[in-house]
A and B are shown apart, each in its own frame.
Chain A
């Protein structure tokens, strides 16, 4: 795009923002006033944004890993994450734990739920690739895309059905489509006030800590894995050039399966963490979270692992700011406005490389 066009587009954008922004809660003077009045709220929202953003990043990684390797938007990915939350809920239900149980039992339930959810969603995601995408590897793009949308609906309905199995899993409650109560096993103990005994005006509790620490560990682990292990290098090689990877002696089908396993595992972990964080799970949660996570992946530069993490954090923080300072009803609109802006001004995403460089 020529510079002149960009300037024009930017001016039109700013004009629209100033006139219509206040409708969507964007009233710059009020926002600045609020921030000046109580700056600690800004920090508080930053923390909330980081916690939600790390969860989004975990899901975004699944989109980006798969896109990077076979250039497919795996629409079912968000729903696989939902299955992770349902699996965790089922396991925790089987342990029959709740807020009042002893810490040892709670911890055991969480660890078992984590392992079951991760193994289950990894398997489901790899199975989806095997049945719905592999045969279409050389088919036109549209065919695979439609197959992916179909898988998304199927998985969502599996969730709906699962939610109706209260005869086997009482924790699912009476109404199959309604949000399920996810037991509050972590609790909200304030890290600064109650553990460190520091008096600060922001609240940062054990749930935030758990989510941020777990997500960071998983993401750093993934980054190191892809950078240094043999299988990680095979993933990068397959993503960069599939034919060349075959010539190297890489079993490309296995590497692709493994990539789906990895993305699914991260989604399963996110499913458990979200359950523990928000204490609710519903069969449509994968659709909404998936949309935001996909946006995060695109904003960061789809196919780029660091980009997905960055995009997740940015979208998380943006959403927290919008909830606080603009209007929570308009948060999705703001998220997608950012998506559109990025697409217009930097179509490759923040850290993405141009497609031409890939050849």
Chain B
């Protein structure tokens, strides 16, 4: 059997006395939408951040498509096919929406040591960027400064920029967080339209969205994966019920 697209083994991260990632094993198969759920503080963001190389892990392996990427800096992981969105958006606030997406397109085209031609008149960049915006229904906001966007639009823009990089594996950290009902539905629509085209590791609290989207679900509690399975399996898993689904509104 071929190795899954993402293969994490024995990943460990300690913050002082707190073990935020406690020997995580995780497989994400090519083409699947794999949800990662767990209570607040379980270590979901910390895990994503380590997979993306923004935070170094203390021990363990991270393989993407069979290649160990655990020691690579973020930009090199991106070039190997990783992309992420952030729980709290990180965009370029002084630039317009179109500038942001065009820069993502530019980044994918190789180095940017080009000092002369005007980037904002580069039809190759702008045209592709406009295409990405139109496909996501954000084209009418192309010339708006990012700092003037609504929270929902910023979340959407992050997804568009991640996709503009043409990723093999998309790491999504709570894409629905803080969205209204309609925006949330739109985001679910966008993600489900990507099914089969992009592999996703989806961290999300909105259980309706998770059950609607996920092919498989892993449950993270106190930095450990306590269960992995289909939606039905997870719903019926007594450990999960005790540790997570049972406690509170989730």
Q: Do A and B come from one complex?
A: no
